[in-house]
Amino acid sequence: MNRTLVIGCALLAPIVALAAVSLAWTPYGPADTTGGRLTPPGAAHLLGTDRLGRDLLTLVMIGARTALTTGVLAVAISALIGVAGGLAAGFAGRLADDVLAAALDILIAFPALILALLVVAAVRPSLFATVLAIGLAMSAVLARLTRALVKGVLAQDYITASRASGTSWPRIVTGHVLPNIWPALSVNLALQLGLAVLAEASLAYLGLGAPQPDISWGRLLREAQATVFTSPISLIAPGLLLAMLVAGANLAAQGLRLAADPALRVTR
C-alpha cells in the first residue's frame, strides 16, 4: 500500500469536505457580526468569533473553498499553458527550441510569487487576477519539464518506427507522447496545487489578494495578528488548515511519484 499517498489524501480530505459543505451550508453568514467580538469557542460558535464578531468556523470553511478553487484553477491554467508551450518547444526546430528554452529559463529565474505579485499589481486585485497570476507564474516550470520529457520520448526508437509507418504527428502526440509524460506531469501538478494555495494565501496576507467580501486564509491570518494573544484560535485555525493542505498536496505528489516509478518503491 502506498502509505504516502494515503496520508496525503487523508490530510486533504477534511479540507475538501469543509469546502464542499460550505457551498450549501455554513453556520452563519460570512458578514454576520452578531456573535460578539472575540467570543471564545462554545456551543454557539465552535471556533469562537473574530475581532469583528464573525463566526470563525464559517470564515474557515469559506476560506477552504477559496483556497481549493484558487489552487485547482491556477493549476489548470498552468497545465494548459505549460503543457502546450512544452509540446511546442519539444517539437520545434533547433533555433525555435533554443529561443523558447532561453525564454523559459529567464522566467524560471524569477520566483513564482514575485511574478504573481507583478501580475496582480498590474491589474485590479480580484480572485480571477490572483488565479491568473499564479497560473502564469507556475506555467514556466511546467513548460520546461514538458519540453524535457517530450524530447526524451521523441528520441525513442518506437517514435521513429511510428513516423516511418506513416503515423501523423497529432496521433503520435495523443498516442505516445502524452501517455508517457503524464505520470511525471501529474506529480508536478500535485506539487503545484500546494504552491498555488500557499501563493494565494501569501498574496492575501500582503493585501494583494481578492478584496472583500472574498474570504481567504491569508487575510484571516493577517487580521488575527492583532488578537493573537487574546484569541489564538483565530490564528491557529486557518494556519493549521493551510499547513495541512500544503503538506497533503506535497505528500500526495510524492505518493504519485512512488506509484509511477516502481524502482523508487523498491529502493524505499
Query: What CATH number is associated with residue 85?
Result: 1.10.3720.10
pLDDT at residue 267, as a whole number: 46
Where does the pLDDT of residue 70 fall: very low under 50, low under 70, confident under 90, or very high at 90 and above?
A: very high
pLDDT at residue 268, as a whole number: 47
Tell me, yes or no, whether 20 lies in a domain: no
Percentage with pLDDT > 70 across the chain: 97
How far apart, in whole angstroms, are the C-alpha atoms of residue 237 and residue 226?
A: 15
Say what the pTM is: 0.91
Tell me, yes or no, whether 186 lies in a domain: yes
Backbone angles phi, psi at 52, to 5 degrees: -100, -5
Query: Does pLDDT of 200 surpass 50?
Result: yes
pLDDT at residue 107, as a whole number: 82
pLDDT at residue 197, as a whole number: 96
What is the grid cell recorded at 11?
490530510
| Each residue's pLDDT tens digit, 2-59 | 899 999 999 999 999 999 999 999 999 999 999 999 999 999 999 999 999 999 999 9
Query: Does pLDDT of 264 surpass 60?
Result: no
Q: How many other C-beta atoms lie within 10 A of the C-beta of residue 150?
A: 22
pLDDT at residue 260, as a whole number: 76
pLDDT at residue 103, as a whole number: 85
Query: Does pLDDT of 111 surpass 90?
Result: no
Q: How many domains does the chain have?
A: 1
- Give the domain extent around 147: 48-267
Alpha helices in the chain (DSSP H): 3-24, 56-91, 94-109, 112-122, 127-154, 157-164, 169-172, 178-205, 217-224, 233-260, 262-267
Query: Does pLDDT of 97 surpass 90?
Result: no
Percentage with pLDDT > 90 across the chain: 69
Tell me, yes or no, whether 8 lies in a domain: no
Tell me, yes or no, whether 76 lies in a domain: yes
Query: Does pLDDT of 263 surpass 60?
Result: no
Give me the mean pLDDT over the 238-260 stretch.
93
Tell me, yes or no, whether 28 lies in a domain: no
Which one is predicted more confidently, 83 or 257? 83
Tell me, yes or no, whether 74 lies in a domain: yes
How far from 212 is each of 12, 70, 125, 126, 139, CA to CA, in Å? 26, 16, 10, 9, 28
Tell me, yes or no, whether 112 lies in a domain: yes
Give me the mean pLDDT over the 258-265 stretch.
68
Tell me, yes or no, whether 197 lies in a domain: yes
DSSP, res 49: B
